């Protein structure tokens, strides 16, 4: 099955008026809340119904930083193992990852290390990662402590937030932090080598709007 058959992106798709485009991915076990997290961020809504993602989906959201218009192309991946070949194909070219687990699900936390290995295997070396312990509104069912999450993030070299898509806790902050990390990385690269931007061998940072990447394109 071709990966593009599983793509059904929504959002401000056709708008080419932006300064930068950042490709972000949300990954983690099935049911940790990836789709809900993106839904909350892009549409400020939440539903308790669980419709497991088939393959991959995306939404587009524009943010502003230092007068620059940054278009976020946010890919929501299926956590189910059977879609792994499709979803890992989208890691290439991603500048940032939100690696999510569910604080009420030990197994999803135990899988973080494996997801981190997937990032190292399939993405650029300088992709930025934020670890998100989702469903922090469910304190009574918590099985992963805040300290365990923070410690693991530290060990893996990731930033860390506990979040709730349901109660809208740290959703915006997680995305904003990831954007900041990517921007920092970009300016770091520019300081050392003006030709280098985000690690893409062919990508050049310019003041003019780059061409819009088509949905389904792996660049
Ligand atoms: P896959 O698509 O299978 O990989 O799952 P997913 O990670 O996209 O999970 P999804 O967003 O579909 O959420 C799974 C279930 O958890 C749904 O019933 C959501 O309503 C619920 N859920 C998601 N986020 C939260 C949260 O922050 N708090 C609570 N209480 N429930 C949540
Ligand atoms: Mg989903």
165, 167, 171, 174: which to mutate for ligand 1, most atoms within 8 A of CB? 165
Give CA–CA dist 64/2, Å, rounded.
Answer: 34
The verdict on residue 22 lying in a domain is: yes
| Nearest C-alpha neighbor of 89 from the set 150, 141, 25 | 25
The verdict on residue 214 lying in a domain is: no
- For residue 80, the CA-to-ligand 1 centroid distance in Å is 13
- For residue 141, the CA-to-ligand 2 centroid distance in Å is 21
The verdict on residue 99 lying in a domain is: yes
Ligand 1 atom nearest residue 79's Cα? 4
Ligand nearest to the CA of 34: 1
The verdict on residue 67 lying in a domain is: yes
- For residue 201, the CA-to-ligand 2 centroid distance in Å is 31
In this predicted structure, what is the pLDDT of residue 40? 98
Residue nearest to atom 11 of ligand 1 (CA): 33
Number of domain units in the chain: 1
Distance set, CA 174 to CA 24, 120, 130, 190 (Å): 12, 21, 7, 24
In this predicted structure, what is the pLDDT of residue 127? 96
Distance set, CA 160 to CA 52, 152, 172, 182, 193 (Å): 25, 9, 13, 15, 29
Other Cβ atoms within 10 Å of 62 Cβ, number: 14
In this predicted structure, what is the pLDDT of residue 189? 77
Ligand 1 atom nearest residue 39's Cα? 11
Retrieve residue 22's tokens.
Answer: 């950042």
In this predicted structure, what is the pLDDT of residue 159? 98
Rounded to the nearest 5°, which phi and psi values hold at 49? -70, 140
In this predicted structure, what is the pLDDT of residue 206? 35
Ligand 1 atom nearest residue 47's Cα? 20
6, 30, 33: which to mutate for ligand 1, most atoms within 8 A of CB? 33
β-strands 68-77, 56-65 pairing: antiparallel
The whole-number mean pLDDT for each consecutive block of 10 residues of the chain, a chain of 219 residues, reads 39 70 98 98 97 97 94 98 96 97 98 97 94 98 98 98 98 98 88 52 37 38
In this predicted structure, what is the pLDDT of residue 186? 87
If DSSP states are collapsed to H, E and C, what string results for 37-94?
A: HHHHHHHCCCCCCCCCCCCEEEEEEEEEECCEEEEEEEEEECCCHHHHHHHHCCCCCC
Give CA–CA dist 166/47, Å, rounded.
Answer: 8
How far from the centroid of its chain's Cα atoms is residue 143's Cα? 24
The verdict on residue 7 lying in a domain is: no
Say which CATH number the domain at 164 has.
3.40.50.300
Find the residues whose C-beta lies inside 6 A of ligand 1.
30-36, 47-48, 50, 52-53, 78-80, 134-135, 137-138, 164-166
The verdict on residue 58 lying in a domain is: yes
In this predicted structure, what is the pLDDT of residue 93? 92
Residue nearest to atom 20 of ligand 1 (CA): 48
The verdict on residue 6 lying in a domain is: no
The verdict on residue 9 lying in a domain is: no
In this predicted structure, what is the pLDDT of residue 200? 43
- For residue 194, the CA-to-ligand 2 centroid distance in Å is 38
Rounded to the nearest 5°, which phi and psi values hold at 131? -90, 130
**Domain range holding 123?**
18-189
Ligand 1 atom nearest residue 46's Cα? 20
């Amino acid at each position: 099955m071709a990966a593009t058959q599983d793509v059904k992106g929504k959002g401000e798709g056709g708008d080419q008026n932006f300064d930068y485009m950042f490709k972000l991915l949300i990954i983690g076990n099935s049911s940790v809340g990836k789709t809900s997290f993106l839904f909350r961020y892009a549409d400020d809504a939440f539903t308790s119904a669980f419709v497991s993602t088939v393959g991959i989906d995306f939404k587009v959201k524009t943010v502003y930083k230092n007068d620059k218009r940054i278009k976020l192309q946010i890919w929501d991946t299926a956590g189910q193992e059977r879609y792994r070949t499709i979803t890992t194909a989208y890691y290439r070219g991603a500048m940032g990852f939100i690696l999510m687990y569910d604080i009420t699900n030990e197994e999803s936390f135990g899988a973080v290390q494996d997801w981190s290995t997937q990032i190292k295997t399939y993405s650029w070396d300088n992709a930025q990662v934020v670890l998100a312990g989702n469903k922090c509104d469910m304190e009574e069912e918590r099985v992963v402590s805040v300290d365990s999450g923070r410690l693991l993030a530290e060990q893996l070299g990731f930033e860390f937030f506990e979040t709730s898509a349901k109660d809208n806790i740290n959703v915006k902050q997680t995305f904003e932090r990831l954007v900041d990390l990517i921007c920092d990385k970009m300016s770091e690269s520019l300081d050392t080598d003006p030709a280098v931007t985000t690690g893409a061998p062919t990508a050049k940072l310019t003041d003019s709007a780059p061409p819009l990447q088509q949905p389904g394109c792996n660049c």
